[in-house]
Structure 1
Amino acid sequence: MPEPDRLYAIGDIHGQLDLLRGVHDLIAADRQQTGDWTAPVVHLGDLVDRGPDSAGVIDFLLAGPAKGGPWVTIKGNHDYMFSLFMCDPPRHDPSLRSDLSWLHPRLGGMTTLASYGIADTEARTPDDLHREATARVPASHLAFLRELELTFSGAGAFCVHAGVRPGVALDAQEPSDLMWIRREFHDHTESFGPLIVHGHTPVDQAVHYGNRLNLDTGAAYGGPLTVAVIESGKVALLTPDGRRALPADPRSTPD
C-alpha cells in the first residue's frame, strides 16, 4: 500500500485512558475540518504502567480498529516488559538493568496489575502476582501486546517508540534500540532521511528538533497527552482551539 500523505501521532499514554479519549476527540474534530477519515492514527507505545487504567487503554485500542478505525499501535519498552512478565515463566527484558524488574515502583508494573483487579500488589510475591495475572489478563490483551508493530512510515515520517541508532539503516534497526535507545539518538543532529517521530523520554512540551519530533509530554507523571498531525514532514499540534504549527528548531537542547 502507498504511504499516507497525512498521519496523526500520539505520545506515550501510560494508562491514561481519559487523556487518550480526549486526544481522539481532537483527531475527530480535525478530520471534520479536513474531510480525511483515512489518515492513520499512530500510537507511539508505552500504553501501560504508571497511570490508573492500563487495561482500559488496551480495551480502547482493541475496539478502534474493530470499528474500522485506521489505527496503528507501536510497541514501547513498557508494553514489552508487561508481555515478558506474562510469559510462563516470566522473563526479564535484557535491556533493563539487572537490579530492576517490571514490578519495581519506578517502572509502574504494579499499577498495570491493579487495573486488572489484582489487589495488594506491594505485599505479594512475584510468583503469586504472576499466577493471578495469568488468570485475570485477557488472552486478547496479551496477543495484542505481542503483535504490536515496532515502526510505521508515512507522511514523510518514521514513527517509533524510542528512536533509532544513527548510522544504521532504518530497515535494519535492532528492536532493543527501537524500544529503548536514548542518548546516541538524542545527540545526533544530522538528518535520518524521514522525520523520526518518537516518545520514550518525557519533555515538558513537544519539541521538533529538525531531524526528530518528541511527543512524550509526561502523561505518566501528570503531564498532558500530546497529539500531532504530520503532513509531508510538516508538523502541527492538535489543541481544543485547532491546529498549532510546530516548526523545526534544531537549536533545541537535546532531551
Structure 2
Amino acid sequence: MIKFAQFLKKRGKTKPRPSVPQGERYYVVGDIHGRCDLFDQLILAIEKDDERAADAQSTVVLLGDLVDRGPESARVIETARQWGKRRKVRYIAGNHEEMFLESFEDKEMLRHFLKHGGKETVLSYGIKKRRYNELTMKELQRELHDLVPAKHRKFLEAMEDIVIAGDYVFVHAGINPKHSIEDQKRSDLRWIRDRFLKHREPFSHVVVHGHTIFENLEHTPYRIGIDTGAFRTGNLTALVLEGDQRRIIQARERDGSITVAHDEFA
C-alpha cells in the first residue's frame, strides 16, 4: 500500500513550466532581415498588446539579423533605434550585423557579406544598382563610410550577445551545448547551428533563438526557434512571455497586404 502511494505521489509530480520573473513581460522578435514593412506592423501590434495586457514591466528583445536580404535594412536600423528611445528594447547582435560591421574595414569580409544578403543592405543606404555594379571593393567601402550614418554603426556596435530572463535565455543563433551559459563564446552565440539544433538533452535554460529559418515555429522542451523567414515567407514573429504563459504575435504578408495574428503557444 505504501509503495502504491509513493508511486502515485511520484506520478503526480510535474515539472514546473519555464517562466520569466513575476511582474515582467517579454516580447522577443525574430530575424527581421530588412523587412521594415512587417516590422512596422509588428511594432504597432506589440504596443497595442502591451497597453491591453495586465500591468507589468515590459521589455522587447530583438534577436538580431535586422539587416540583409530584405530591401529596407537602413530603415529597420533607424526604426529599431527610435523604438528604443520610447520604450525598453534590448538588441542582440546576429551574424549579419557582425559581417556588416567588419565589412567597413575588411575587403574580403565585404565580399562575403555581399554574397549573403549584404547587397540589399548596401542598396538600402542609397547606392544605385548601376553604380554598385561599377564599384571596386575599395570604392564600395569608401561609399559605405560616407553613406552609413555613424549613429547606425554605433548602434550596431553596442548590441548585446545574450539576455537572460528567469528560466529563458535569448540569443541569436543558439548556444554551445558543451559550455555553461556563462562560458559561451560570441562566435557560437552568433553562428552556431547543427551542434545546437541536434542536441537532445536539457539546457540550464530554455533557449529562444533565431538564425535558422522554420516556417512554423520550432519548439522543443529545451529551445524555441522564432526565425520564421520574414524576407522569404512574409512572416515576422514575436514570442510573448509572461509568467509561465506563452503567446505569439505575427505580422503576415499575403498578396501585398499585411495582417497581424495573435495565437496561443503551448
TM interval, short-chain normalised = 0.7 to 0.9
Residue 61 of structure 1: which of 75, 80, 105 is its match? Answer: 80
Q: Which residue of 1 aligns with 2:92?
A: 74
Contact 1:230 1:236 in 2 (8 A): yes
1:176 partnered with 2:193: no
- When residues 233 and 213 of structure 1 are mapped into structure 2, their CA distance, relative to the original with a 3 A threshold, is farther
- 2:233 equivalent to 1:222: yes
| Change beyond 3 A, Cα 1:122–1:155 | farther
Aligned counterparts of 1:221 and 1:162: Cα–Cα separation in 2:
18
CA contact (8 A) 2:30 2:237 kept: yes
Aligned partners of 1:246, 1:112: CA distance in 2, in Å? Answer: 33
Which structure has greater strand proportion? 2
2:189 is the alignment partner of 1:161: no
Residues 27-106 of structure 1 aligned to structure 2 (within 5 Å): 27-36=46-55, 38-67=57-86, 69-87=87-105, 89-90=106-107, 92=109, 101-104=112-115
Alpha-carbon displacement from aligned partner over 1:119-162 (angstroms, at most 9, x marks no partner): 23234221111111110100000011111000111142100000
The answer to whether the 8 A contact 1:157-1:233 is kept is: no
Match status 1:26 vs 2:45: yes
Q: Which residue of 2 aligns with 1:119?
A: 128
Question: Which TM-score applies when normalising by structure 2?
Answer: 0.83
Could you tell me the percent identity over the aligned residues? Answer: 36
Paired residue type of 2:24: D
Which residue number in structure 2 is paired with residue 97 of structure 1?
Answer: none
1:139 aligns with 2:157: no
Tell whether the 8 Å contact from 1:194 to 1:233 is kept in structure 2 after alignment: no
Unaligned runs of 5+ in 2: 1-19, 251-258
Query: Of Structure 1 and Structure 2, which has the larger fraction of its residues in helix?
Result: 2
Quote how far apart the aligned CAs of 1:40 are: 0.6
Residue deviations 1:80-112 (CA, integer Å, cap 9, x gap):
10000123x54639xxxxxx61111xx111110
CA shift in 2, pair 1:168/1:233, >3 Å: farther
Q: Deviations over 1:198-235 (max 9, x none)?
A: 00001111122110000000012233000110124542
Matches within 5 A, 1:236-247: 236-239=247-250, 243-247=262-266
Partner Cα distance (1:118, 1:37) in 2: 44
- Tell me the number of residue pairs that the alignment of Structure 1 and Structure 2 aligns: 236
Runs of 5+ consecutive residues of structure 1 not aligned to the other structure: 94-99, 248-255
